[in-house]
Amino acid sequence: MLEKREFYINGKWVAPAVANDFHVINPSTEEPCAVISLGSEADTNAAVAAAKAAFPAWMATPVAERIALVEKLVEVYSRRGEDLAQAMSLEMGAPIDMSRTQQVGAGIWHLKNFLTAAKNFEFERPLGDHAPNDRIIYEAVGVAALITPWNWPMNQVTLKVGAAAIAGCTMILKPSEQSPLNAMVFAELMDEAGFPAGVFNLVNGDGVGVGSQLSGHPDVDMVSFTGSTRAGIAISKNAAETLKKVHLELGGKGANVIFADADDKAVKRGVLHMMNNTGQSCNAPSRMLVQRPIYDQAVETAAEVAKSVTVGNALDEGRHIGPVVNELQWNKIQGLIQKGIDEGARLVAGGLGRPEGFNKGYFVRPTVFADANNQMTIAREEIFGPVLTMIPFDTEEEAIEIANDTPYGLTNYVQTQDGARANRMARVLRSGMVEMNGKSRSAGSPFGGMKQSGKGREGGVWGLEDFLEVKAVGGWAAE
């Protein structure tokens, strides 16, 4: 078992002020795989003080130099990819092949996209032709607290760190205590890349402790948080006392609207997308809305596909899904599956308990419910596990009504060969993202939601802008 309790503060690995051990659990075995320390208020204050002290010089560093350091980070990250993959598989249960490709790959993708966006971003620009002596200056927000989740660790760490670094912010990263090991590897990468002391700091901790201390700290200028809607509300309330900027990427309950003219792989694609990462994705297409002429066949197909999804230990190579992250999540998912049964949805695949052959580990059976309606609990709540809810519809108008009838608004999906209808749907679906016919969003596209799915956007130009203040200057002098 790995024992590593250090925090990365002001360019050094330091011991916690107070020993407060936390056992990281391998969800494939239910056994401890590492011991970390949860930070105290003294650790939080030390990290914030280091970031605050480093901020003036880092903000004044030419953008080209900040970009060059992120380019160096990409180089180091690429070399250490296997270390990151092994850590994520061990601590949060992503199957190792998936961890190497998708989990690690997401981080390199985002960093490279930020570099492209930064090289074309005008940090100082004229207001317009009508005002030759006015300038708009984009200036770093300041000290940023970055609070990241366990489900896509490197995806979220790089979306925040990459943008903050290029923008000129200094930062304190608090990764999820459920998946801290990959973040500690990432701190080693930041150190090797040569970021100045105090620019990047890491303190492990939980939300009640370090998370609350950061979101309420008077010397923290911004909080960028990814996680549950419940936690996002708590952070917003705590941050309001100091009027700091708050960026939230929260939950989702995406609708995948499959019309009768959808391509013949649309249902299979939707089920596999739902099961990816064991359903632990905020943008998962967890509600499959199917037009009635093809509904019965879609249910049959969805059940077959779900039954073909294999489950296995995260450290085993191969194409399978791993466990969910911990016992709390496992119990929550079991409760919601039982709720689906009790409320009258038809169980066509999976169900309660562990998959056959497993008596240990937080493994969940790939599950599909049919004949649900949008008022059922399994259609309202974010399950965050490999559970798909299927709902029939008749008309385009009904599909829109069902899809939008949710407190969330992160990602919706549309499957139709009618281009005009696809575009109509994209315009009226109330979500920050819409993906159609299996086409994912392209490089530099912003990630973020509406309603209770949060506020702000990550990735590309929009991700940079979230870490920048806008300064208007009148009477700009010729130099």
Cα–Cα distances in angstroms (integers) from residue 361 to residues 17, 84, 278, 324, in the given order: 34, 22, 13, 9
Question: Angle of helix 81-92 relative to helix 181-193, nearest 10 degrees?
Answer: 160
User: What is the number of residues in the chain?
Assistant: 479
Separation CA 69–CA 162 (nearest Å): 10
Classify 415 as helix, strand or coil: strand
Provide φ and ψ at 217, rounded to 5°: -70, 130
Q: Minimal CA–CA distance to 373: which of 396, 355, 397, 391?
A: 391
Could you tell me which residues come within 8 angstroms of residue 376 by beta carbon, excluding any fewer than 6 positions away? 339, 340, 343, 344, 345, 389
Burial 294-332 (b: 16+ CB within 10 A, else e): bbeebbebbbebbeebebbbbbeeeebbbbbbbeebbeb
Query: Looking at the annotation, which residues are catalytic?
Result: 249, 282
Lookup: tokens for 12: 């050094």
- The radius of gyration computed from the CA coordinates of the chain, to the nearest angstrom, equals 23
Q: Which residues face 466 on adjacent strands?
A: none
Give the rounded distance of the alpha carbon of 34 from its chain centre: 23
Alpha-carbon distance values, 131 to 390, 469, 476 (Å) = 56, 21, 10
Among 28, 86, 85, residue whose Cα is nearest residue 364:
28
Q: What is the DSSP letter of 210?
A: I
